[in-house]
């Protein structure tokens, strides 16, 4: 099932790219299409951040991941590059868990 999803979504993502370079440019010109296309990544990424950090199965929880996210915010405010942001988030959570086992 995982393989079907990987290959299906992979081919789907390719077809989305191919459609872009194949469709007439007019397809973009509808303002509603542009607006929704701008908003979808924002909404999905924000939801992914929230769920990834504060959900444990179907439970909401605050643990070391939240501290990792806070550290990531600080890194982003300091204009750190992507890799540094990811590393800082991981290292903060890891160190906290070392200090407070079970967090």
Residue 100 lies near other proteins (rule: CB under 8 A): no
Smallest separation (angstroms) from other proteins to the CB of 29: 9
| Sites for other proteins among residues 29-68 (CB under 8 A) | 31-32, 34-55, 57-60, 64-65, 67-68
DSSP H helical segments within the chain, as ranges? 2-22, 31-54, 64-77, 82-99
Region label for 38, one of left (φ > 0), alpha (ψ between -120 and 50) or beta (otherwise): alpha
Give the residue, chosen from 27, 62, 78, 100, that forms a contact with other proteins under the rule CB under 8 A.
27
Other residues' Cβ atoms within 10 Å of the Cβ of residue 87: 15
Q: What is the DSSP letter of 56?
A: E
Q: Strand pairing partners for 60?
A: 55
Which of 10, 62, 78, 100 is in the footprint of other proteins by CB under 8 A? 10
Smallest gap, in angstroms, from Cβ of residue 40 to other proteins?
5
């Amino acid at each position: 099932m995982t393989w079907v999803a990987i290959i299906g979504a992979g081919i789907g993502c390719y077809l989305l790219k191919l459609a872009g370079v194949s469709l007439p440019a007019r397809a973009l010109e509808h303002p509603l299409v542009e607006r929704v296309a701008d908003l979808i990544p924002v909404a999905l990424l924000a939801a992914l951040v929230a769920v990834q950090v504060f959900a444990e199965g179907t439970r909401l929880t605050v643990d070391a991941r939240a501290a990792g996210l806070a550290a990531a915010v600080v890194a982003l405010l300091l204009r750190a590059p992507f890799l540094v942001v990811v590393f800082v988030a991981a290292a903060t959570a890891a160190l906290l868990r070392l200090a407070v086992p079970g967090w």
